[in-house]
Structure 1
Amino acid sequence: MHKIAFDVMGSDKGLIPAINAGLHFLQNHHDVEIFFVGNQKAIENHLATVPNCPKNYQIIDTPEVIGMDGGIMDIRRKPDSSLVKALELVKNKSVDGMLTGGSSAAFIAGAHFILGEFEGVGKPGFMPTWPTIVENHTVLFLDAGANTDNSAQDLYNFAKMATIYAQTVLHQERPRVSLLNIGEEKSKGKDVHREAYELLKADQKLNFQGNIEAREMISGSTDIIVTDGFSGNIALKAMEGALKNLMKVIKTTLTKSLIRKIPALFLKKAFKEVGTKFDYKNYAGAILLGVNGVVFKSHGSSDEQAFGSTLRMTYEAIQGDVLAKIKTKMEVES
């Protein structure tokens, strides 16, 4: 039985979408037990309204909440918060992994102070998954914002950890690795990029493809993209915003007049498929690689669909024993 701690407090839409996502997941995964972490009374009040509610869950009562605007110090100020308790369940091995939709800053700080990084890792990295234009192909991207500054060694470590994740969870035998840069030439970028390029190229165990520019991030030409957390967070949000607004422009343009609306009806299914493919809610979770635990962060604005996606990713990482495999490699090679 796989056990997952689910911090259902602190996200933008409240606990109901989170609990509903958990219950739906339990209905389809009888080998999972979810620990709903949060205000027990509020959780129980909602569960009482759910017909045919699955029973493979527990409730961990916590009197405190770290809100979306919570910071690093809230980990110390609110030791009885749902986020802290969920991380402690991972540390104590009461569960196999956890997820939250709460504050990113508090989550990263909590993972650092409560779980700690394992040997061979300087800094952990946020790794979301996103779709590409290639059918049934996704790309792993890190760091997406756990750090504002990284060394060349950090980027090299990200590539090694992500490679194991891709092999274990995505079943890619030899995933391609690329380095996000301002040009394809190895001389491009700052010192950290040039140094990282040489480290990645020298490791024959990595399938390093060289530099990749931001415009190629969803082209499907690579499987893993590594970068520093500052650039990565900007790139991630720029891409999400561009895709979201592009779909809005397409919809507005196609429905501007009756003449356009008629042929648009015949293409409705195709546009819906494109919208679904690039909907962030289907790839809402990001694992924090490099800490002593399987810990996922979902978007703060996650709805039931997005939380369900993050639950699936958490389950797959636990099922593949990805943490043990990454730790073994990093500790042996440190």
Structure 2
Amino acid sequence: MKIAVDAMGGDHAPEVVVKGVQAARDQWPDLEFMLFGDLAKVKPLITDETRIELIQSDSVILNEDEPVKAVRQKKDSSMVMAAQAVKNGEAEALFSLGNTGALLATGIFVIGRIKGIERPALMPTLPTVNPGHVVNLLDAGANAESKASYLEQWAIMGTIYARDIRNITNPRVALLNNGTEFDKGDPLHKEVYQRLEANEAINFVGNIEANSLLLDQADVIVSDGFTGNAVLKATEGMSSLLLKQIKQALLNNGLGVKLGAAMIKPALGDIKNRFSTSGNGGAVLLGVKAPVIKTHGGSHEDAIISTIGQIREMLAKKTIHQVIDYLKENPIK
């Protein structure tokens, strides 16, 4: 299995990308990598080129670049060249820590949509109150506007992913809404509710509100892209803020509190690790013809290894092919 990697994407590229790729290569002998980047910077970081192919790219898509314009104009960039390798069949998946909007555009315009999927969706994996349990949210921002058919398609893809990658026999699917009652929401969400309830391939458990997002009440939560992105950013922001506030309170309230903080430090570390970007893998662009996965730009080696393991699972279990096969037999319009 071969993965095309944008070695220049992210806050700590290429050092952290190369380090993570080499560690993943050593952990999984069935993986090969194509690294696209500035070889003057990348090659000195490589300690062992076993199962790693290096390809020169002459430009980089930056975070401040306008996504679609950058993809069209920077065809010699590490991200676009990696995507082109997937399109050409030289690699089976695309991995990047770079500009999220550009990666979405690259996945859609270079690799291409699955037939029967009107709009791909961005799907991160989030922790829940129960250790070891996570939830997938889609769409988390790939689409500013949505139709009911989009959300039904995303529910199917989320179900297949949760079943194959998370090994859940019958994943619970919920609809993010402004109330739990069946008749809540605007016309779009009311129609989506009826569609999900009527689709026998989906284990629909009803509406879910944003305050229950991480309460382990569903395995997959579908949302229109605008709302999903807003809820995701609010959740991430609040988690980060609370951890910082707890740390400041423990360190700035006298010796007794500091001694208590030392005693509970391991427990706080466990909470921090559960809400970090390292353990839960990357965000998947579901709906394109190959796995396209994005990890947070500030990620370090552990997050890269975790995400590469996620990609490996998707390739081994042919998750994208299962979506393609399902939609051939059961088109959703």
Q: TM-score range by the shorter chain?
A: over 0.9
1:99 aligned partner:
95
1:63 aligned partner:
58
Q: Percent identity among equivalent residues?
A: 34
2:144 aligned partner:
148
1:239 aligned partner:
235
C-alpha contact 1:68 1:300 (8 A) present in aligned 2: no
Superposed counterparts of 1:76-155, under 5 Å: 76-155=72-151
1:174 aligned partner:
170
2:244 aligned partner:
248
Distance 2:111 2:303 in 1: 25
Letter in 2 for 1:69: E
Could you list the per-position Cα deviations for residues 157-180 of structure 1 after superposition, in whole angstroms to 9, with x for gaps in the alignment? 100001001111111000000000
Q: SS in structure 1 opposite 2:305?
A: helix
TM-score norm. by structure 2 comes to 0.96
1:261 aligned partner:
258
1:301: how far off? 2.2
1:9: how far off? 1.0
C-alpha contact 1:20 1:304 (8 A) present in aligned 2: yes
Distance 2:259 2:248 in 1: 14
1:220: how far off? 0.7
1:284: how far off? 4.8
Distance 2:83 2:28 in 1: 23
2:327 aligned partner:
330
Q: SS in structure 2 opposite 1:254?
A: helix
C-alpha contact 2:281 2:310 (8 A) present in aligned 1: no
Distance 2:74 2:262 in 1: 53
Distance 1:79 1:100 in 2: 16
Distance 1:320 1:249 in 2: 42
Distance 1:163 1:229 in 2: 18
Distance 2:106 2:242 in 1: 36
Distance 1:134 1:68 in 2: 34
Distance 2:145 2:285 in 1: 16
Superposed counterparts of 1:18-33, under 5 Å: 18-33=17-32
Distance 1:151 1:31 in 2: 40
TM-score norm. by structure 1 comes to 0.95
Q: SS in structure 2 opposite 1:65?
A: coil
Aligned Cα RMSD in Å? 1.3
Aligned mate of 1:215, from 211, 216, 220: 211
1:309: how far off? 2.4
1:107: how far off? 1.3
C-alpha contact 2:277 2:299 (8 A) present in aligned 1: no
Could you list the per-position Cα deviations for residues 240-299 of structure 1 after superposition, in whole angstroms to 9, with x for gaps in the alignment? 111111111112222221111222222111111111111123235111111111111111
Q: In terms of mean alpha carbon deviation, does 86-95 or 194-203 score higher?
A: 86-95
2:35 aligned partner:
36
1:54: how far off? 5.6
Distance 2:36 2:329 in 1: 35
Distance 2:274 2:322 in 1: 30
C-alpha contact 1:177 1:226 (8 A) present in aligned 2: yes
2:45 aligned partner:
46
Q: 1:54 to 1:29 in 2, by over 3 A?
A: farther
Aligned length: 329
C-alpha contact 1:27 1:54 (8 A) present in aligned 2: no
Q: Which runs of 5+ in 2 are unaligned?
A: none
Q: SS in structure 1 opposite 2:124?
A: strand
Distance 2:39 2:244 in 1: 40
Q: SS in structure 2 opposite 1:267?
A: helix
Q: Which runs of 5+ in 1 are unaligned?
A: none
Superposed counterparts of 1:245-324, under 5 Å: 245-255=241-251, 256-324=253-321
Letter in 2 for 1:59: L
Q: In terms of mean alpha carbon deviation, does 235-244 or 10-19 score higher?
A: 10-19
1:310: how far off? 1.9
Q: SS in structure 1 opposite 2:16?
A: helix
1:225 aligned partner:
221
Letter in 2 for 1:37: F
C-alpha contact 1:240 1:280 (8 A) present in aligned 2: no
